[in-house]
Homo-oligomer: A and B are copies of this chain.
């Protein structure tokens, strides 16, 4: 797991692939869809998603079935939510202070 999941999510095509996989596992062909890029391009994006631990793959015959590794995305989500909590708390403190001053 060389890369951060945030790195993986930094490209719009990769985010769309994640959106597709959130709805359930899919083959490479299915996620390739209509991005207007070639197969090798998608292949590279999938490699990034795999190496960052966001996506896993099971080879079944000539099809590769992709799934989200939800634990990894969970970690990234937690980081974001944690930051939100910190700045929200800060906001509350400031707000309380303002109310305090009004009294």
Contact = CB atoms under 8 A, between A and B. Distances in A.
A21 B70 CA distance: 28
Interface string A6-37: 11011010010011011110000000000000
Q: How large is the interface on A (under 10, 10 to 19, 20 to 34, 35 or more residues)?
A: 20 to 34
Contacts of A23: 86, 90
A30 to B, nearest CB: 15
A65 interface: no
A4 B12 CA distance: 9
A86 B77 CA distance: 13
6 contacts: A4-B12, A7-B10, A22-B87, A76-B80, A77-B77, A77-B81
